[in-house]
């Protein structure tokens, strides 16, 4: 099925929002790393090419996490070697540690992201570290990357709730995030890894940071809150938003339930709010419809389903 001619919402600009939002597209990394099947590298390359063609300018391309943990992205070197880089598009990659940084440098990457935890339990389970020790692990990675001229983003996961600990302390999140920025991260992405956050929580955390210029948000739609949370973040001063084309990033509970906020649903909102986003929604929907065909299951994005004829 192809995309139908695309409708767009009525544009109703008003105050209180950034004039432009940078969409940090994570579909090729955060989306595909959760797929049960391994997607061929040629498909990934076409996916990235189409995303750039749809106007997205930040495409998180892959990850140098050990293939034992994320076999779906074991082809990182091959993918980067085959990448048809579009002008004006950044292709950051996820780097978990010093060995990952070595691989990234060898592959000629100029923009990386590290992945830290806002909670003790998730640090132990996901990073095999304590909460405190993770900073000792990341500091030299960031320092070396910066010395090599790379830009570094910091992801901070479990900022709004933790499946083992429940409520997460706001001050702990702020402390952890500021350490990553102090190390030399130029951006900090606040992640609601399990999708439990609601809007007042988002506003509270962003206000606790004070300076919003280096902040991004990363919401999962597990409880249907991702778009509302994103808008709360925009109104609190954030202007970089993570999302995944078609809502890629499956949830284990239901075949079509989403992981990440769908880029198309975000674009619909931004267009309606009169916030500049640079995306051709028709091309993006076509891309997600094509990718859904490659994966053999429907996109969980509402906009994709509404516009795919």
Q: Which residues are catalytic?
A: 251
The Cα 79–Cα 95 span in angstroms is: 15
Q: Is 217 in the site for its own copies (CB under 8 A)?
A: no
* Helix, strand, or coil (residue 25): strand
Q: Is 297 in the site for its own copies (CB under 8 A)?
A: no
Q: Name the segment binding its own copies (CB under 8 A); options: 7-15, 31-39, 68-76, 117-125.
A: 7-15
Q: Which residue shows structure tokens 């910066």?
A: 146
Q: Is 9 in the site for its own copies (CB under 8 A)?
A: yes
Q: Is 13 in the site for its own copies (CB under 8 A)?
A: yes
DSSP conformational letter for 121: H
Q: Is 167 in the site for its own copies (CB under 8 A)?
A: yes
Spatial CA neighbour of 55 closest among 29, 100, 30, 23: 23
Q: Is 302 in the site for its own copies (CB under 8 A)?
A: yes
140 vs 163 by CB, closer to its own copies: 163
Q: What is the largest CA-CA distance in the chain?
A: 52
Least Å distance, CB 116 to its own copies, is 21
Sketch the per residue contact string, 170 through 199, with its own copies: x for CB under 8 A, - otherwise. Answer: -------------------------xxxxx
Among 231, 249, 287, 290, binds its own copies (CB under 8 A): 231
26 vs 196 by CB, closer to its own copies: 196
Least Å distance, CB 43 to its own copies, is 22
Q: Name the segment binding its own copies (CB under 8 A); options: 56-64, 121-129, 151-159, 261-269.
A: 261-269
The Cα 109–Cα 103 span in angstroms is: 9
Q: Name the segment binding its own copies (CB under 8 A); options: 101-109, 116-124, 221-229, 238-246.
A: 221-229
Encode burial over 30-40: b for 16+ CB neighbours within 10 A, e otherwise: bbbbbeeeebe
CB 195 within 8 Å of CB 219: yes
Cα–Cα–Cα angle for 130, 153, 165, rounded to 5 degrees: 35
Q: Is 255 in the site for its own copies (CB under 8 A)?
A: yes
Q: Name the segment binding its own copies (CB under 8 A); options: 47-55, 99-107, 112-120, 161-169.
A: 161-169
Q: Is 301 in the site for its own copies (CB under 8 A)?
A: yes
Q: Name the segment binding its own copies (CB under 8 A); options: 5-13, 44-52, 55-63, 136-144.
A: 5-13
Helix, strand, coil percentages, rounded to 5, for the chain: 45, 15, 40
DSSP conformational letter for 246: G
Torsion sign across C-alpha atoms 119, 153, 284, 9:
positive
Among 186, 204, 208, 276, binds its own copies (CB under 8 A): 204
Spatial CA neighbour of 161 closest among 126, 137, 187, 196: 196
Beta strands in the chain (DSSP E): 22-25, 58-59, 62-63, 93-94, 111-117, 151-157, 187-192, 215-219, 240-243
Least Å distance, CB 62 to its own copies, is 27
The footprint of its own copies on residues 121-160 (CB under 8 A) is: 160
Least Å distance, CB 225 to its own copies, is 6
Cα–Cα–Cα angle for 179, 249, 174, rounded to 5 degrees: 15
Residues that bind its own copies (CB under 8 A): 7, 9-10, 12-14, 160-161, 166-167, 195-201, 203-204, 221-225, 227-228, 231, 251, 253-258, 262, 264-265, 268-269, 271-274, 298, 301-303, 305-306, 308-309
């Amino acid at each position: 099925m192809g995309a139908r001619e695309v409708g767009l919402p009525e544009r109703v600009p008003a105050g209180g929002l950034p004039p432009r939002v940078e969409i940090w597209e994570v579909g090729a990394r955060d989306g595909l790393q959760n797929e049960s099947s391994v997607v061929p590298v040629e498909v990934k390359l076409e996916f990235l090419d189409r995303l750039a063609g749809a106007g997205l300018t930040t495409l998180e391309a892959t990850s140098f996490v050990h293939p034992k943990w994320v076999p779906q992205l074991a082809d990182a070197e091959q993918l980067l070697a085959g990448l048809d880089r579009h002008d004006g598009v950044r292709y950051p990659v996820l780097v978990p540690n010093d060995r990952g940084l070595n691989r990234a440098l060898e592959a000629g990457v100029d923009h990386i992201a590290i992945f830290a935890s806002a909670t003790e339990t998730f640090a132990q389970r996901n990073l095999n570290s304590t909460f405190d020790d993770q900073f000792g692990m990341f500091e030299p990675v960031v320092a070396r990357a910066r010395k090599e001229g790379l830009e570094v983003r910091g992801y901070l996961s479990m900022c709004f709730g933790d499946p083992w600990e429940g409520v997460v302390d706001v001050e702990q999140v702020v402390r952890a995030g500021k350490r990553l920025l102090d190390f030399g991260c130029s951006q900090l992405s606040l992640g609601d890894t399990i999708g439990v956050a609601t809007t007042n929580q988002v506003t509270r955390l962003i206000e606790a940071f004070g300076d919003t210029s280096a902040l991004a948000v990363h919401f999962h739609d597990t409880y249907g809150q991702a778009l509302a949370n994103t808008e709360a973040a925009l109104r609190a001063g954030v202007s970089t938003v993570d999302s995944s084309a078609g809502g890629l990033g499956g949830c284990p509970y239901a075949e079509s339930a989403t992981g990440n906020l769908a880029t198309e649903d975000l674009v619909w909102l931004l267009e309606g709010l009169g916030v500049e986003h640079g995306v051709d929604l028709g091309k993006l929907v076509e891309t997600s419809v094509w990718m859904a065909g490659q994966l053999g299951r429907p996109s969980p994005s509402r906009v994709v389903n509404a516009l795919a004829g």
